Chains A and B, each alone.
Chain A
C-alpha cells in the first residue's frame, strides 16, 4: 500500500517535516528529527532504485490526475540514482554535523536552520523526481531560496554578500529556465516531459523551440556553475556554515547536472539537442576551460574552503566533458563522477568542518602542523584529496578511468592529456595542503587537539565510502552503465 506511494512520499515527508522544525526548540530534538527524516528519505530512494534497477519506470499521478494533464512523478533508474545520492549525502552530513551546526549557528536560529535545510533537501528531491517541466522550476526555486537563507547563516559577514550574489545569479538562471519552459509550452501545449518528448519532433523546425533550448541551457548552466557561469559558487561555499558547504557541494550542483541530462536526453532528445546547437563542441570547450582555469585558481587559493570550491567547478567540468562525448562510455563516466564527486566533496568539506570547529578558520597559514594536532581530521583531508587527484583505490580513480576510456573511444587523445593535466594540477594543490599539514612546524601556542568524536565519525564514514566504492564498483558502475544506456536509447 505504502510502497505504491513512495514517489510522492519521497518529497512530501521532508516538505512537511520542514515547517514542523519551527515548533521544536531543543537542539538535540531538532537534530534527531531532521536526521530521521533524512534517513527515511534515503531508505525510500533506495527502495525506488531497487524497483527501477531493471529498467522499470514508475509513473505516479499526483492527486489521481492522469498525465499529461496532472503532474506526473516519473521515476526511472536515473532519478532513483540521483535521489539516492542526495538523500544519503544529506543523511551522512547530518549524522556527523550536529556539533558543528550548534557551534556555528546561534541556538535561537537553530530551528530556522533545520527548517531551511529540510526545505532545500525537499526541493532537491522534488527537482529530481518530477516528470513535469514546470514543476522542475517550482522545486528549483524552493531549494534555491532555502539555500540562500542557509548560506547567509555563515558567521562571516561576507556570507551575506555571497548569499545575495547567489540570489541574483540564481534567480536570473531560474527565470531563464522559466522562459525556456514557457516557449516549449508555446509550441507544444504540454508541460509533461514524456509528452514533450513525443511532441517536440513535430515542431523541430520552429525557431521558438531553438530559443527555448538556448534559454534552458544557459539557465541550467548557471545553476550547475558551468564555467564561466560559476562566479557565485566559490564565495557561497566559502562563507556558508561548514555543514551547509558539505551538503550543497555534495548535492545541489549534482542535481543541476541531472536536470541538464534530463532535458538534453529525455525531453529534447539527442538528435535535436546536438544538431540544433553545436552542443557537443560548446560543452567540450567549456568543460576544458573549467578543468584548466578553475584548477589553476584553486592552486593559488589561500582559503582552503575556497580552494575546494574552485576544485568543485573543475570537477563539474569532468562531468560535462563526459556528457559532451555523447556515448554510453562518456555518460557512464559522468554519472559515476556524479556519485563519486559527491562522496569526495562531502568528505572534504566535513573534514574542513572539523578544522573550523577547532580553529575557527581554514586558512592555509593556520593549518601548519595540523597533521600532528588533528591526525584523524588531516588524514581524512589527505585521503579525500587523493581521491580528487584520482589515485587508485579511491573513487576518484574510477571516474577518471572511465572518463579517459570514453575519451579514447571517441578518439580525442588531446582530451586524455587534458584530463591528466587536470589531475596533475589537483595533485599540486593537494600537495600544498600535505606540505603545510605534515612538514611545517605548527604554532606552539595552538594547543587545540582533535575534533569531537561525532564529527570525525561522520567524516570518516564518508572517507571510507570513498575507498569502498573505489574498490567495489559493482553497484555504481552497474547503475551508471544501465542508466547511460537508457538515456541514449541503446539496448544493453
Chain B
C-alpha cells in the first residue's frame, strides 16, 4: 500500500495520459481534440520530471559542501518537448482556422458529411 501511495505522481501520469488519449479519440470537435492531445503530452512531461527527482534533492547548483541535487537532464529534455508541444498546437490551431474557413464548421461529423456529399 505504501509503495502505491509513494508512486502517486506516476498514477497521476497514467490518469492524465488516459484522459487525454480518451478525449482525442472520443471528441468530435477539432479544438477539443487538440486540448486532449495537450493533456496527453503534458502527462509525459510529468513522467520525465518525476524520474529526475532525487529524495531531498535541491536545485542542481554547485555549492560548498555538495548537497544532493535532482537530475537536471530530464528537465532540459522536457523544455525541448514543451517547445515541440507548443509548435504542434500552433500548427493544429492554424489548420483548424483554415478548416473553419473552408468548411464553415469544426465538428468532425459535419466535415465528413460535407466531404461525402461531394
Chain A contact residues, CB within 8 Å of chain B: 134, 137-138, 141, 145, 148-149, 152, 157-158, 160-161, 163-164, 167-168, 171-172, 174-175, 178-179, 182, 185-186
Residues from chain B with a CB closer than 8 A to the CB of A138 are 80, 84
A164 to B77, CA, bound (A): 26
Other A-B pairs, 14, CB within 8 Å; known A141-B88, A152-B95, A152-B98: A158-B115, A160-B102, A161-B99, A163-B95, A167-B92, A167-B95, A171-B37, A171-B41, A171-B88, A172-B21, A175-B40, A178-B81, A179-B47, A182-B74
In chain B, positions 38-92 with a C-beta closer than 8 Å to chain A are 40-41, 44, 47-48, 51, 74, 77, 80-81, 84, 87-88, 91-92
Smallest Cβ distance from B62 to chain A, in angstroms?
17
Q: CB distance B98 to A175 under 8 Å?
A: no
Smallest Cβ distance from B30 to chain A, in angstroms?
7
Residues from chain B with a CB closer than 8 A to the CB of A163 are 95
Q: CB distance B84 to A182 under 8 Å?
A: no
Residues from chain B with a CB closer than 8 A to the CB of A160 are 95, 98-99, 102
Interface residues on B, range: 20 to 34
**Chief secondary structure at chain B's binding surface:** helix
Chain B contact residues, CB within 8 Å of chain A: 21, 24, 30, 33, 37, 40-41, 44, 47-48, 51, 74, 77, 80-81, 84, 87-88, 91-92, 95-96, 98-99, 102-103, 111, 115
Q: Taking CB as reference atom, which chain A residue is nearest B81?
A: A178
Q: What are some 5 contacts across the A-B interface (CB < 8 A)?
A: A137-B84, A141-B84, A148-B95, A158-B115, A161-B111
Residues from chain B with a CB closer than 8 A to the CB of A141 are 84, 87-88
Q: Taking CB as reference atom, which chain A residue is nearest B84?
A: A141
Identify which of A134, A149, A164 gathers the most chain B CB atoms within 10 Å of its CB. A164
Q: CB distance A157 to B95 under 8 Å?
A: no
Residues from chain B with a CB closer than 8 A to the CB of A178 are 44, 81
Residues from chain A with a CB closer than 8 A to the CB of B80 are 134, 138
Residues from chain B with a CB closer than 8 A to the CB of A152 are 95, 98
Residues from chain B with a CB closer than 8 A to the CB of A171 are 37, 41, 88
Q: CB distance B41 to A175 under 8 Å?
A: yes
Q: A167-B91, A175-B44, A182-B47 are in contact. Are A134 and B103 (CB under 8 A)?
A: no
Q: CB distance A161 to B91 under 8 Å?
A: no
Q: CB distance B81 to A172 under 8 Å?
A: no
Q: A161-B99, A178-B44, A179-B44 are in contact. Are A186 and B91 (CB under 8 A)?
A: no
Smallest Cβ distance from B38 to chain A, in angstroms?
10
Q: Which residue in A134, A137, A149, A172 is a CB contact (below 8 Å) of B37?
A: A172
Q: CB distance B96 to A164 under 8 Å?
A: yes
Residues from chain B with a CB closer than 8 A to the CB of A175 are 40-41, 44
Residues from chain B with a CB closer than 8 A to the CB of A137 are 81, 84
Q: Taking CB as reference atom, which chain A residue is nearest B77?
A: A134
Q: A171-B37, A171-B41 are in contact. Are A182 and B88 (CB under 8 A)?
A: no
Q: CB distance A145 to B91 under 8 Å?
A: yes
Smallest Cβ distance from B70 to chain A, in angstroms?
14
Q: CB distance A172 to B24 under 8 Å?
A: yes
Smallest Cβ distance from A347 to chain B, in angstroms?
30
A172 to B74, CA, bound (A): 20
Q: A182-B44, A182-B47 are in contact. Are A167 and B81 (CB under 8 A)?
A: no
Q: CB distance B47 to A145 under 8 Å?
A: no
A168 to B12, CA, bound (A): 23
A152 to B24, CA, bound (A): 20
Residues from chain B with a CB closer than 8 A to the CB of A186 are 51
Residues from chain A with a CB closer than 8 A to the CB of B41 are 171, 175
Smallest Cβ distance from B43 to chain A, in angstroms?
9
Q: A145-B87, A157-B102 are in contact. Are A182 and B37 (CB under 8 A)?
A: no
Smallest Cβ distance from B39 to chain A, in angstroms?
11
A60 to B77, CA, bound (A): 21
Q: Taking CB as reference atom, which chain B residue is nearest A187?
A: B51
Q: Which residue in B48, B87, B92, B115 is a CB contact (below 8 Å) of A164?
A: B92
Q: Which residue in B37, B84, B91 is a CB contact (below 8 Å) of A148?
A: B91
Residues from chain B with a CB closer than 8 A to the CB of A164 are 30, 92, 95-96, 99
Residues from chain B with a CB closer than 8 A to the CB of A172 are 21, 24, 37, 40
A167 to B95, CA, bound (A): 10
Residues from chain A with a CB closer than 8 A to the CB of B30 are 164
A149 to B74, CA, bound (A): 29
A178 to B115, CA, bound (A): 34
Residues from chain A with a CB closer than 8 A to the CB of B81 are 137, 178
Residues from chain B with a CB closer than 8 A to the CB of A185 are 51, 74
Residues from chain A with a CB closer than 8 A to the CB of B51 are 182, 185-186
Q: Taking CB as reference atom, which chain A residue is nearest B13?
A: A179
Residues from chain B with a CB closer than 8 A to the CB of A179 are 44, 47
Smallest Cβ distance from B72 to chain A, in angstroms?
13
Q: Taking CB as reference atom, which chain A residue is nearest B51?
A: A186
Residues from chain A with a CB closer than 8 A to the CB of B24 are 168, 172
A161 to B115, CA, bound (A): 10
